Structure 1
């Protein structure tokens, strides 16, 4: 996981009062077969941050570069398609907004 992805996950975790969960999800695992609880908020945030960063990097490399609002909307839509759960909206919004900030895409 890249530094921007970790930063996005940490910032979103703080906003969602899940900073400890995110830090636990970011810890390296001694056993490659060991995995975190798949429904833990930290794991969800870390996974969403990785996907959001990939989307943002791809979109900001296009010419002409789409406006930040379009990149934000694309991140939200793709995360909603990818994330299973009862109500991932606060996680998705926090991750999308932090991704825009970290990618320096604010208009």
Structure 2
């Protein structure tokens, strides 16, 4: 009986990945889209709001805000996503995505924009 209580307590401590981080403001999302277009993210990815190019090397980013993990490795949270878009190899060694020179603010804005992609 004690084992059942311990198991129930242990399972209760496991929390699912948070899929709804705090909402970013509309200006950050708009700046993120502009930065992604300017930095050429569409060369590798298909993304909402970017008509051309429509890259197919990287994953399609439609619905990205609903994904639990970044590159299948770390929780999809704004601060981690900002770090990933700026320096993917530091989060996912061996990834095909290169480190991309950008300002911290651009990385935060791109993360906000990506997080806004939700299946409604």
Q: TM class by shorter-chain length?
A: 0.3 to 0.5
**TM-score of the superposition, structure 2-length normalised?**
0.33
Larger helix proportion of the pair: 1
- Rg bigger for which structure? 2
**TM-score of the superposition, structure 1-length normalised?**
0.36
